[in-house]
Amino acid sequence: MERATQLAVPLGQTEVFQALQRLHMTIFSQSVSPCGKFLAAGNNYGQIAIFSLSAALSSEAKEESKKPVVTFQAHDGPVYSMVSTDRHLLSAGDGEVKAWLWAEILKKGCKEVWRRQPPYRTSLEVPEINALLLVPKENSLILAGGDCQLHAMDLETGTFTRALRGHTDYIHCLALRERSPEVLSGGEDGAVRLWDLRTAKEAQTIEVYKHEECSRPHNGRWIGCLATDSDWMVCGGGPALTLWHLRSSTPTTIFPMRAPQKHVTFYQDLVLTSAGNSCRVDVFTNLGYRAFSLSF
């Protein structure tokens, strides 16, 4: 939140509206450009803003450097997830995935290079796409979201090759297990499912909420975030943030966090996690204790 002083500038209709929009804005996704100089962020109004990291982090950064270089309306609905390939920025939200060229994105009036909609079963409501996952070995993109399926799309041809069904409620997050190309998906139904990409079948299912140590019924059973390190997996959400050993499908460590987790990543040997409604990024070691917190 900006620490703005009481504005003396008279606020007309547009200024008030913009201020209100900013107050109610949520940024759902972000992605760094392949060159590392730019950061793309997607918000709940469907806009994507490109920030210049090099300008904002330089020593002569002014207020204007912290504003986006360009902002454009990418989707009609919120932009729930974004990934970057080496040339494209892929954004997905309200049922469609669009691709933008990083080289062109800074110009005004940038148009998407292509857009794709996975084949959905229902037509009453367009399901959202909550997670995008790049599988570099196969050069394909995995989408998962509101229709409880994982769709795999070939990035060369743009066709949807597989649809992996199994979740009973919508999917929140995806993670890639690199060694054996497997995709983990966590969803609203409280289960983490592992999918084998070659056979397109569900390999393993972990129903997190059924484990008493980590379940927190008052929060629900949904799995909001997943991270995997091939052998290990961390997931959290409604249930507590837990570290699982994948082979044995047993929870090993439960991290003592109260709030439901939204994001988690492995970093070297540490687990970094943040909740959506606090200003802290907690850093844990594998042994389960909170080493320290990064705070906004």
Partner 1 sequence: MSTESSKKRKPKVIRSDGTPTEGKRNRSDTEQEGRYYSEEAEVDLRDPGRDYELYKYTCQELQRLMAEIQDLKSRGGKDAAIEIEERRIQSCVHFMTLKKLNRLAHIRLKKGRDQTHEAKQKVDAYHLQLQNLLYEVMHLQKEITKCLEFKSKHEEIDLVSLEEFYKEAPTDISKAEVTMGDPHQQTLARLDWELEQRKRLAEKYRECLSNKEKILKEIEVKKEYLSSLQPRLNSIMQASLPVQEYLFMPFDQAHKQYETARHLPPPLYVLFVQATAYGQACDKTLSVAIEGSVDEAKALFKPPDDSQDDESDSDAEEEQTTKRRRPTLGVQLDDKRKEMLKRHPLSVMVDLKCKDDSVLHLTFYYLMNLNILTVKAKVTTATELITPISAGDLLSPDSVLSCLYPGDHGKKTPNPANQYQFDKVGILTLRDYVLDLGHPYLWVQKLGGLHFPKEQPQHTVIADHSLSASHMETTMKLLKTRVQSRLALHKQFASLEHGIVPVTSDCQYLFPAKVVSRLVKWVTIVHEDYMELHYTKDIVEAGLAGDTNLYYLALIERGTAKLQAAVVLNPGYSSIPPIFQLCLNWKGEKTNSNDDNIRAMESEVNVCYKELCGPRPSHQLLTNQLQRLCVLLDVYLETESHDDSVEGPKEFPQEKMCLRLFRGPSRMKPFKYNHPQGFFSHR
Binding residues vs partner 1 (CB under 8 A)? 1-7, 9-13, 15-17, 19-24, 26, 28, 77-78, 80, 124-125, 128, 130, 146, 170, 172-173, 188, 217-218, 220, 222, 224, 262, 276-277
Nearer to partner 1, 8 or 199 (CB): 8
Give least dist CB 262 to partner 1, A. 7
Give least dist CB 23 to partner 1, A. 5
Give least dist CB 257 to partner 1, A. 15
Give least dist CB 153 to partner 1, A. 20
Nearer to partner 1, 164 or 171 (CB): 171
Nearer to partner 1, 11 or 35 (CB): 11
**Residue 194: strand, helix, or coil:** strand
DSSP codes of every residue in 9-70: S---HHHHHHHHHHHT--EEEEEE-TTSSEEEEEETTSEEEEEEHHHHHSTT--GGGGS-SE
Give least dist CB 265 to partner 1, A. 15
Nearer to partner 1, 2 or 269 (CB): 2
**Residue 131: strand, helix, or coil:** strand
Rounded to whole angstroms, the maximal C-alpha distance in the chain is 63
83 neighbors 28 (Cβ within 8 angstroms): no
Q: Looking at the DSSP assignment, which residues form a beta bridge with residue 266?
A: 271
Alpha-carbon span 263 to 256, nearest angstrom: 15
Nearer to partner 1, 7 or 119 (CB): 7
